Structure 1
């Protein structure tokens, strides 16, 4: 005879982790993101994102009507290059 016991809390934890992974996969599939999603992706406030990136002509952004949109992959590539450059210059970013 086979006896199986389940820890309900551990099962909930595993299920939530799988849901979180799936949500991340869905988000990764989004081709364009808006300013709110960009701020979330970068873990920065909107004013900081505006100062550092949105109004920078080199940043991969597009204006569609009144809304800014960004290609997720291009943003990731830009941020990778930008962060390498920042670290080469001492690792501090002045946003004043």
Structure 2
């Protein structure tokens, strides 16, 4: 029998580094993101976003009319901290 051991901390760090690199490359100096940009930046579907962090009191968001907006810099910082705490 083959037994595989995985270092979860190492995987989390690699995942975080990859996300940080991706965010830096994609940064287009947007002041606000909409939900489509948030989905694109996180590579998550809307249901996953809602199930994981959307309703967190610290997640920066504002609804104008029927559309959600997310301040880009604050959202990036929240996502980095959120991932680190996972």
TM-score band w.r.t. shorter chain: 0.5 to 0.7
C-alpha deviation, 1:57, in angstroms = 2.0
Paired residues in the alignment total: 62
- Which one has more relative contact order, counting CA pairs under 8 Å at least 6 apart? 2
Q: Runs ≥4 in structure 1, deviation > 3 angstroms?
A: none
**CA-atom RMSD in angstroms:** 1.7
Give me the whole-angstrom Cα distance separating, in 2, the residues matched to 1:60 and 1:37: 14
Identify the residue that residue 60 of structure 2 maps to in structure 1.
60
Aligned with 2:59: secondary structure? Answer: coil
Residues 42-75 of structure 1, C-alpha deviation per residue, up to 9 Å, x if partnerless? Answer: 0101110122222222201111111110011111
Identify the residue that residue 37 of structure 2 maps to in structure 1.
37
Listed as ranges, the gaps of 5+ residues in structure 1 are 1-23, 87-96
Aligned with 1:28: secondary structure? Answer: coil
User: Over alpha carbons, which structure has the higher Rg?
Assistant: 1
Residues 7-54 of structure 1, C-alpha deviation per residue, up to 9 Å, x if partnerless? Answer: xxxxxxxxxxxxxxxxx4xx5211101111101000101110122222
Give me the whole-angstrom Cα distance separating, in 2, the residues matched to 1:72 and 1:66: 19
Give me the whole-angstrom Cα distance separating, in 1, the residues matched to 2:80 and 2:62: 19
2:80 is equivalent to residue 80 of structure 1: yes
